[in-house]
Amino acid sequence: MNPLLPTLPAARLLLVEDHPLYRDGLLGLLQRRAPQLQCRTAETGADALRQLRASADVDLVLADLRLPGALDGLALLAKVGEEFPTVARVLVSGSDDPHLPAQARRAGLMGYLPKALDPALWELALARILSGEPWFPREGSAAPEPGPTGRQAVILARLAEGRTNKAIAGELGITERTVKYHLAEIYGRLGAANRAEAVARASTRGWIRLPQSA
């Protein structure tokens, strides 16, 4: 626990995210860094509303922008605001659209969280939101985003070379499960949906250099 970060209160979260790798990676992050949070999940806007209507014991709804079905993240959070006005609402997205934070603010949301946000800033953002303060990137991300950890950088380099999880595990002397754990963290930080997207986004940020083609 970083003593410079505010303490996250015990709270009940509903995470609406259909991508299992990102969803599981974020849940794992929250469970490790803030075990006092109670997290439920839904894969669609319709499922989220069904859960809330059955039992609205939720303090915060985090919804991905892109969801399957008739309700995207913004439409879902608008419905949540209408039916459950005391529940805090936050939009999460891996999109690079610079207008999304302002759009989320105009919609009356408490915050906008990019999927590539550093884990420490996730803690800071959630602590502020759960204390009743809004959090948007321009307000809360003045500190530069740190690069990958040493192990993440090595795994990213192996991904860029086309290595399989099994090959990476063998080369690094770790289990395939550990490789998958690191990949989940990497995908979550980058807002990536797959290996190719993770490599491309890591290269764009200068985290790795892509191999030169012959």
pLDDT 10s digits, 76-116: 999 999 999 999 999 999 887 888 888 898 899 999 998 87
For the chain, state the CA radius of gyration. 18
The dihedral of CA 82, 116, 205, 67: what is its sign? negative
CATH class belonging to 11-140: alpha beta
**Region(s) of the chain under CATH 1.10.10.10:** 150-204
The dihedral of CA 46, 52, 55, 59: what is its sign? positive
Confidence of residue 7 (pLDDT cuts 50, 70, 90): low
Q: What is the DSSP string of 78-145?
A: HHHHHH-TTSEEEEEE----TTHHHHHHHTT-SEEEETT--HHHHHHHHHHHHTT--B-HHHH--SPP
User: Which residue type is seen at 140?
Assistant: G
**Region(s) of the chain under CATH 3.40.50.2300:** 11-140
Q: Which of 47-56, 96-105, 115-124 has the highest mean pLDDT?
A: 47-56
Domain 150-204 CATH assignment equals 2.40.160.60: no
